[in-house]
Amino acid sequence: MILWSILIGLFAAIVIGMPISFGLAAISLFIFYYADYSLTPIVSEAINGLDSFPLLAIPLFILVGEVMSEGGIAKRLVRLASAMVGFVSGGLGQIAVLTSMFFGGISGSAVADASAVGSMMIDPMKRHHYPAPLATAIIVAASVVGIIIPPSIPMILYGVVTNTSISQLFLAGIVPGIIITLALAGTTFLQSKKIGKAQPFDILELAKALRGAILALLLPVIIVGGILSGVFTPTESAAFALVYALVVSMFVYRSLSAKRFFHLCIATGKLTGVVMLLLAFANVLAWLLTANMIPQELVETLTALSDNKFVILGILTLFLLVVGFFMDLTPAMVILAPLMTPVVVNLGIDPVYFGVLMSFVLGIGLITPPVGTVLYVGCGVGKVGMEELVNSLLPFYLTLLGLLALFLVFPGLVLWYR
């Protein structure tokens, strides 16, 4: 009954267009009423879900991304990417893909990636005879890298709700992130090779661009290196990265004022509120699910279908792809990760591997219609219609699905560090 209440309730919330977070709370309240619970867990369990130190990494990483974007970092990363790959045919497209990877190493968010890189790259691409839908499609597809390359906000959420090591999730994301970047660069090359080069190769320009961007490039190294070496926890590394980003933006690049920084703090707080309210109410639901042994029931139901872990993993992946069509990444992650992870762990599948896979599949959902946050951002930034953008995205969807199959067949690509 509980599982059906959740499915029907979520479906109803999606159809009538009510905020998903309040939909989750309403489903919990319905179950409370049905099972004769008191109303206290709607407050206490929601607060318990938020009372976690690792979660503090999320606003801090959001703020690091905001500070670096505002502080002129994105401009410098574009210049470096131009010097590195601008001489390749369809060079501007390659620059956009590479910049997305660099930027993903700072922001940890596909939406931030698409809006920051898109607002800088789409107009120059249009001027270089890229059709607007193709230019936007490249930016939108490349933004998926932002949540696989560490740091990654979805991976932090997964780590918190499933009690999995965030450091290991970040480590596991490095190789798949690089593979996705290369594959998208390949697809971009095939789609835009006739458009021509952005600029000739110039070693002096490369050296200058590298010098200009070196302080920015050190940031992902600090974040990832600090976590992987065990010196920092993810939250501490986010704090350190923020101090570094502030020093660079305020005193070296001199492009961020204290007043502007305060405005960025406000923007971060608002965004954190939207994302984390989902987590708070999903935690109430997760508490209900655990109290009623629903994950165990789900394990039994799925293992009754098949005891082959690849079949189950395939079913779950397919389910997540379908969910991605209709639901944003954050609610899908916080609702489904606590339900699915016990199933895969029971089958002997590594939770770190599943976390990266889940982030990737739901990341694809961000760029697929009818509900895709990054798709909407792309339409806005690129000033293109949804239909033409989706048409231009088709080769990129194929590439991403091919990569998904690759990661399913070769889990070692994700668990490369073991």
Span 318-347, contacts to other proteins by CB under 8 A: 326-328, 330-331
Q: What are phi and psi of 253, to 5 degrees?
A: -80, -20
Binding other proteins (rule: CB under 8 A), the pick from 203, 204, 266, 304 is 266
Binding other proteins (rule: CB under 8 A), the pick from 136, 235, 341, 368 is 235
Give a three-class secondary structure readout of the chain. CHHHHHHHHHHHHHHHCCCHHHHHHHHHHHHHHHHCCCCCHHHHHHHHHHCCHHHHHHHHHHHHHHHHHHCCHHHHHHHHHHHHHCCCCCHHHHHHHHHHHHHHHHHCCHHHHHHHHHHHHHHHHHHCCCCHHHHHHHHHHHHHHHHCCCCCHHHHHHHHHHCCCHHHHHHHHHHHHHHHHHHHHHHHHHHHHHHCCCCCCCHHHHHHHHHHHHHHHHHHHHHHHHHHCCCCCHHHHHHHHHHHHHHHHHHHCCCCCHHHHHHHHHHHHHHHHHHHHHHHHHHHHHHHHHHCCHHHHHHHHHHHHCCCHHHHHHHHHHHHHHHHHHCCHHHHHHHHHHHHHHHHHHCCCCHHHHHHHHHHHHHHHCCCCCCCHHHHHHHHHHCCCHHHHHHHHHHHHHHHHHHHHHHHHCHHHCCCCC
The C-alpha atoms of residue 153 and residue 151 are separated, in whole angstroms, by 7
Smallest distance, other proteins to C-beta of residue 280, A: 7
Contacts of 316 (CB under 8 A, 6+ apart): 340, 343, 344
Contact flag: residue 239 with other proteins (CB under 8 A): yes
The C-alpha atoms of residue 222 and residue 247 are separated, in whole angstroms, by 14
Contact flag: residue 51 with other proteins (CB under 8 A): yes
Smallest distance, other proteins to C-beta of residue 358, A: 18
Query: Candidates 49-57, 102-110, 211-219, 396-404 — which segment interacts with other proteins by CB under 8 A?
Result: 49-57
Query: Candidates 55-63, 89-97, 142-150, 215-223 — which segment interacts with other proteins by CB under 8 A?
Result: 55-63
Q: What is the pattern of x (binds other proteins, CB under 8 A) and - over residues 353-372?
A: -----------------xx-
Contact flag: residue 247 with other proteins (CB under 8 A): no
Contact flag: residue 350 with other proteins (CB under 8 A): no
Tokens 């490349």 belong to 142
The C-alpha atoms of residue 154 and residue 197 are separated, in whole angstroms, by 35
Binding other proteins (rule: CB under 8 A), the pick from 8, 35, 47, 214 is 47
Binding other proteins (rule: CB under 8 A), the pick from 63, 98, 299, 334 is 63
Binding other proteins (rule: CB under 8 A), the pick from 262, 310, 319, 410 is 262
Contact flag: residue 249 with other proteins (CB under 8 A): no
Contacts of 4 (CB under 8 A, 6+ apart): none
Compare residues 345 and 371 and give the one whose CB is closer to other proteins.
371
Contact flag: residue 283 with other proteins (CB under 8 A): no
Contact flag: residue 151 with other proteins (CB under 8 A): no
Smallest distance, other proteins to C-beta of residue 348, A: 34
Smallest distance, other proteins to C-beta of residue 73, A: 19
Binding other proteins (rule: CB under 8 A), the pick from 36, 38, 200, 204 is 38
Compare residues 182 and 274 and give the one whose CB is closer to other proteins.
274
Smallest distance, other proteins to C-beta of residue 225, A: 14
Contact flag: residue 412 with other proteins (CB under 8 A): no
Smallest distance, other proteins to C-beta of residue 16, A: 4
Smallest distance, other proteins to C-beta of residue 266, A: 4
Compare residues 233 and 290 and give the one whose CB is closer to other proteins.
233
Contact flag: residue 127 with other proteins (CB under 8 A): no
Contact flag: residue 258 with other proteins (CB under 8 A): no
Give residues in contact with other proteins (CB under 8 A): 13-23, 25-26, 29, 38-44, 46-47, 50-53, 55-56, 59-60, 63, 231-232, 235-236, 238-240, 242-243, 262-263, 265-266, 268-274, 276-278, 280, 326-328, 330-331, 370-371
